[in-house]
Amino acid sequence: MVRLISVDGKQLGILPVQEALRVARDQGLDLVEVSPKSDPPVCRIMDFGKFKYQASKKIQEARKKARAFQMKEVKVRPNTEEHDLAFKIRNILKFLDKKHRVKVTVMFRGREMAYMEAGYRLLDRVAQEVADKGTVEQAPKQEARNTVSMVIVPKS
């Protein structure tokens, strides 16, 4: 015995399983057990293929919304001029306004690698400039032999 629910959500009563299957087949649809733990179990007449398709679409939509945060990267050099640095900071602020995470990377070449502390100072300055819009998620650290980077996330 199962409690049967029609396609439009109306209860058709408590029927034997064979009778419920016959009703579903007559309509050209599937009999799906919705709540097996209830007494008697609840079954619904529906197009199961369509149901699975709609469920997968909901999952895809949820993933799309979850992926809204992107990681943007801004690269600078330790000897970047004031105007260029101000331009990069404006871009970082735009990214933070759009709720993107920003990875700021300082790249060193040749003899610049002897002055790594200049890169750390530069990243500290960038963090101070964007402090009203974002917070440092990952403190400045040396990633490769010739790069120092940090990650900034938008304030909520």
Sign of the C-alpha dihedral computed for residues 17, 22, 23 and 24 taken in this order:
positive
Same domain? For 76 and 46 the reply is no
pTM above 0.95, yes or no: no
* Dist CA 89 CA 54 (whole Å): 44
The string of pLDDT tens digits covering residues 29-68 is 988 888 888 888 999 999 989 989 999 999 988 887 766 6
Total structural domains within the chain: 2
Over range 126-144, report the average pLDDT. Answer: 91
Domain containing 22: what range? Answer: 2-65
Same domain? For 100 and 147 the reply is yes
Same domain? For 56 and 76 the reply is no
Burial of 5 (0-12, 13-18, 19+ CB in 10 A): buried
